[in-house]
């Protein structure tokens, strides 16, 4: 009987909305999206290059989806889950900034995250 109650509680808890990440996590993710949006860089997704502002909007939608699923616990999990590759095609995202070769989006975003954490979040590339 106790086992049945425990299993029922676990099943019901999976139907509840996931708790949102703490404000500090949102600040870091917002900084990443702002850095991309405000950059002169382009974002490669599913065969096309998009301006950073459009890429940031796309990643925001993915963030919202992954948060509802409870899959975002910190900025690194956002990069890994939502900002590294297409959920549809599996193709890796890339970032291309003026004067620099294209690089994996995870590399660019993780560098921006390090800069933000170090207090230098305003760097362009």
| pLDDT of 15 higher than 60 | no
The mean pLDDT of the chain is 85
Give whole-number Cα distances, 58 to 37, 85, 107, 124, in Å.
11, 12, 18, 20
Q: What is the pLDDT of residue 5?
A: 45
List the beta strands (DSSP E) in the chain. Answer: 42-45, 48-51, 94-96, 103-104
**What's the pLDDT band for 13 if we cut at 50, 70, 90?**
very low
Picking from 4-18, 33-47, 80-94, which range would have the lowest pLDDT averaged per residue? 4-18
Q: What is the pLDDT of residue 27?
A: 94
Q: What is the pLDDT of residue 9?
A: 47
Alpha helix stretches (DSSP H) within 14-90: 23-38, 52-68, 75-82
Q: How far apart are CA 8 and CA 2, in angstroms?
A: 10
Q: Provide the phi-psi class of 119: left if phi over 0, else alpha when psi is between -120 and 50, else beta.
A: left
| pLDDT of 3 higher than 70 | no
Whether the predicted model's global pTM rises above the 0.75 cut? yes
Structural domain boundaries in the chain: 18-117
């Amino acid at each position: 009987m106790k086992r049945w109650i425990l299993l029922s509680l676990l099943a019901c808890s999976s139907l509840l909305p996931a708790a949102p990440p703490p404000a500090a996590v949102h600040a870091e993710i917002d900084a990443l999206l702002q850095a991309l949006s405000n950059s002169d860089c382009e974002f490669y997704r599913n065969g096309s290059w998009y301006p950073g502002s459009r890429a940031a909007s796309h990643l925001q939608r993915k963030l919202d989806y992954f948060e509802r699923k409870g899959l975002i616990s910190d900025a690194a999990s956002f990069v890994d889950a939502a900002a590294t590759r297409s959920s549809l095609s599996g193709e890796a995202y890339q970032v291309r900034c003026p004067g620099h070769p294209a690089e994996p989006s995870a590399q660019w975003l993780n560098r921006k995250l390090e800069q933000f954490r170090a207090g230098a979040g305003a760097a362009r590339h």
